[in-house]
Amino acid sequence: MAAPELVWFRNDLRCRDQAALAIAREQGPVVAVYCFCPEQLVLHGVGGNRVAFLLRCLAALRGELDALGIPLRILETGHFSAVPSALLALARRIGARRLWFNDEYPLNEKRRDDAVEDAFVAAGLAVERLSDTVIRAPGSVLTRQHTPYTVFTPFRRRWLEGIRPEDLAPRALPKRQQRPDIDSDPIPRLPAGFDGGSAATLWPGGEAPALERLQRFADDDLETYAQTRDFPALEGTSTLSPWLAVGAVSPRQCVHVALEKNEGRLDGGSPGAATWITEIIWREFYRHVVAAFPHVSRGHAFRREYDMVAWRSDADQLEAWRQGRTGYPLVDAGMRQLASMGWMHNRLRMVVAMFLSKNLLLDWRLGEAHFMAELVDGDFASNNGGWQWSASTGTDAAPYFRVFNPVTQSRRFDPEGHFIRRYVPELAGLEGSKVHAPWQARGKSLEYPPPIVDAAASRRRAIEAFRNLGS
Ligand SMILES: Cc1cc2nc3c(=O)[nH]c(=O)nc-3n(C[C@H](O)[C@H](O)[C@H](O)COP(=O)(O)OP(=O)(O)OC[C@H]3O[C@@H](n4cnc5c(N)ncnc54)[C@H](O)[C@@H]3O)c2cc1C
């Protein structure tokens, strides 16, 4: 066999529309590799739901690669620092002269990738780095002054202006090869300390279930997405985020299917398709932010002055929030959805994040970490961006004085209380609008806590804490 091309899979666990795999395969036979780094996952606070899902996707990927005659080697490297030497040793063992991978943008991932490139180049081997976890690479969407955008709306405009048809065309499945004499490795077991069993059946691994879900969403729900997306009881969103987070489906495949339903239009046309494409562009925006502003990967507020907010410390309130026992039904329903599914509807992510960072005035990083520990779709850029948006510390953030009222949000986005009654069964017997504010249900004895803070007073306290910092 000719020297194989070595393709390193990371958060791009698919065979269709995978740039590194497709282009490497055009050069010759391929051997695939994945580096499993449980110690690094612990350091990044990634929880069991996400890791278990990742392993299910890896198993499906091995099957897909097998069908193409491509072996998948799995290196258990513990920590990112061990990756360069492990990859280099594998390249030497199989006689590969070139390594291919798609770039990732958080700081530790970038440093790991730079170290891998240095090690390969020093050993006289080639490295091909591509951009594929986004449709438009960081650095390619800049202001007229050639600076990165920090506000979404002009970013989106520019993103749309510069797009070329070839950016949106998914790549075909690579052609089958004659299998080299190299075995695939077994899929690692979920390491001790990660608990990820609860949501397994909801989130099957691999690109086949992702593509099926994408098509079903496009056929059934895309048209009405703009009207339904904010109402958690309606289940009007795609729920594709876990597959997008590990790359079992690509953003290009998503946009391609939406374009088919919108006469090829990215903007305008069907409000459902255009709004959904805008959400994919939000995902791109946060990746561009992470690439351009490494301090957000170091735990800092995007707007550094907000590192000075005097966050409170209150272990009991933090625990009540985590458990969904704050006494605010929509907040609690959202947190219990997270606990039972490993996933939460976007409207509720904003509501619970604002409640933690504003009404409780607890550090948004505590919430970011809890989400990362629980979410099946945990994704550094989107999670950090979403938390900093909600806490008013980030790019394009909600202004600090605009604090969602948890009862108003509840009346607006779960008007009949269907979602609340599903996730907070203690309130199932409350009729009408009392489900949004159960403390008004006088005479009823409920197994449900009173509110842990007063919404109006805590709002004033938050505004006071933020008032002079941003100026
Ligand atoms: C505090 C907070 C934390 C978040 N943490 C994460 C996270 O860890 N991982 C994650 O994938 N998303 C995160 N989001 C963004 C968003 O809530 C989810 O992507 C969305 O709820 C996933 O559901 P869906 O797949 O049905 O989305 P759809 O509405 O069907 O949207 C399609 C895709 O677009 C992307 N997307 C949608 N909304 C956003 C957004 N606001 N920002 C970035 N990308 C978006 C997602 O990849 C999503 O799958 C967070 C949002 C907030 C406010």
**Torsion over CA of 165, 166, 170 and 176, rounded to 10 degrees?**
150
- The full set of domain ranges for the chain reads 5-132, 134-170+206-292, 304-466
**Relative to the CA of 240, which ligand 1 atom is closest?**
25
**Torsion over CA of 46, 49, 55 and 58, rounded to 10 degrees?**
-90
In 314-465, at which residue ranges do the beta strands (DSSP E only) sit? Answer: none
Nearest one of 392, 410, 414 to 451, comparing CA atoms: 410
Alpha carbon distance 141, 120 (integer Å): 30
**CA-based max dimension of the chain:** 80
Tally of CB atoms within 10 A around 238: 24
Helix/strand number for the chain, H first, E second: 19, 5
Residue 440 CA to ligand 1 centre (angstroms): 34
Q: What pLDDT, in 10s, does the model give residues 340-390? A: 999 999 999 999 999 999 999 999 999 999 999 999 999 999 999 999 999
Residue 282 CA to ligand 1 centre (angstroms): 8
Nearest residue (CA) to ligand 1, atom 21: 346
CB 18 within 8 A of CB 72: no
Mark the ranges of the chain whose per-residue pLDDT is less than 70.
1, 197-198, 442-444, 470-471
Q: Which residue has the tokens 């529309």?
A: 17
- Pocket lined around ligand 1, Cβ cut-off 6 Å: 229, 237-241, 244-245, 279-280, 282-283, 286, 346, 349-350, 353, 371, 375, 377-379, 382-383, 385-387, 390
Residue 232 CA to ligand 1 centre (angstroms): 13
**Relative to the CA of 372, which ligand 1 atom is closest?**
8
Residue in 54, 234, 279 to alter for ligand 1 test, most ligand atoms within 8 A of Cβ:
279
Is the alpha carbon torsion for 248, 250, 47, 90 positive or negative? Answer: positive
Q: Which residues of 363-387 are buried (b: 16+ CB within 10 A; e: fewer)?
A: bbbbbbbbbbbbbbbbbbbbbbbbb
From residue 72, alpha-carbon distances to 122, 150, 217 in Å are 25, 39, 31
Q: Which residues of 186-221 are buried (b: 16+ CB within 10 A; e: fewer)?
A: ebbebeeebebeebeeebbbbbebbbebbeebbeeb
CATH number of 134-170+206-292: 1.25.40.80
Residue 385 CA to ligand 1 centre (angstroms): 10
Nearest residue (CA) to ligand 1, atom 16: 346
Name which CATH class applies to 5-132: alpha beta
Contacts (Cβ under 8 Å, ≥6 apart) of 166: none
Nearest residue (CA) to ligand 1, atom 5: 383
The pLDDT of residue 250 is: 98
Collapsing DSSP to helix, strand or coil, 213 comes out as helix
Q: What pLDDT, in 10s, does the model give residues 146-160? A: 999 999 999 999 999
The whole model's pTM is what?
Answer: 0.97
The pLDDT of residue 333 is: 98
**Relative to the CA of 280, which ligand 1 atom is closest?**
34
The pLDDT of residue 161 is: 94
Residue in 11, 202, 214, 283 to alter for ligand 1 test, most ligand atoms within 8 A of Cβ:
283
From residue 313, alpha-carbon distances to 53, 151, 364, 455 in Å are 33, 31, 12, 18
**Torsion over CA of 349, 352, 357 and 360, rounded to 10 degrees?**
-170
Name which CATH class applies to 304-466: mainly alpha
β-bridge partners, 464? none
Residue in 211, 275, 355, 377 to alter for ligand 1 test, most ligand atoms within 8 A of Cβ:
377
Collapsing DSSP to helix, strand or coil, 50 comes out as helix
Residue 346 CA to ligand 1 centre (angstroms): 6
Residue 470 CA to ligand 1 centre (angstroms): 27
Alpha carbon distance 346, 365 (integer Å): 18
With vertex at residue 380, the alpha carbon angle to CA 374 and CA 384, rounded to the nearest 5 degrees, is 90
β-bridge partners, 101? 129
Alpha carbon distance 133, 453 (integer Å): 41
The pLDDT of residue 196 is: 74
Alpha carbon distance 413, 270 (integer Å): 23
Within 162-302, where are the H helices? 207-220, 225-228, 241-246, 251-260, 271-292
Active-site amino acid positions: 279, 282, 311, 346, 364, 387
Tell me the DSSP string of 72-85. Answer: EEEEE-SSGGGHHH
